[in-house]
C-alpha cells in the first residue's frame, strides 16, 4: 500500500509538524511505501536549523525522523 502524509504545520506546533514524519516511518517499517508533502507553514521544516530544534510532545526529535526518511529514500515534497 502507498501512503501520502501531508504536513501543514511548522515549528509553531512541533507535535503536529512531527506527525507526518512519524507516520511515514511507521508505514515504511511496516513494509509500505510512504511519501510526505509539506505545505504552508510546513515548508519551513526544510531549513536544517529549524528542523534541528523541533520536537513534539512525547515524540522523537524531528531531525531523527527526517534522517530516517533520507536513509530510507522516503520522498519529501515541498
- CATH at 43: 3.40.1260.10
Residue 44 belongs to what domain range? 2-77
> Which residue pairs from 46-55 have beta carbons closer than 8 angstroms and sit at least 24 positions apart in sequence?
46/76, 46/78, 50/10, 50/11, 53/11, 54/11, 54/14, 54/17, 54/18, 55/14, 55/18
DSSP tag of 45 = G
* Per-residue pLDDT at 58: 95
Mean pLDDT of the chain: 97
Q: What is the mean pLDDT of residues 36-65?
A: 96
Prediction pTM value:
0.95
- Total structural domains within the chain: 1
Amino acid at each position: 500500500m502507498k501512503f501520502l502524509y501531508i504536513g501543514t504545520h511548522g515549528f509553531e506546533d512541533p507535535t503536529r509538524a512531527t506527525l507526518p514524519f512519524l507516520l511515514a516511518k511507521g508505514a515504511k517499517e511496516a513494509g509500505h511505501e510512504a511519501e510526505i508533502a509539506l505545505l504552508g507553514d510546513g515548508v519551513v521544516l526544510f531549513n536544517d536549523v529549524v528542523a534541528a530544534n523541533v520536537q513534539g510532545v512525547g515524540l522523537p526529535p524531528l531531525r531523527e525522523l527526517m534522517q530516517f526518511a533520507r536513509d530510507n529514500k522516503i520522498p519529501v515534497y515541498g
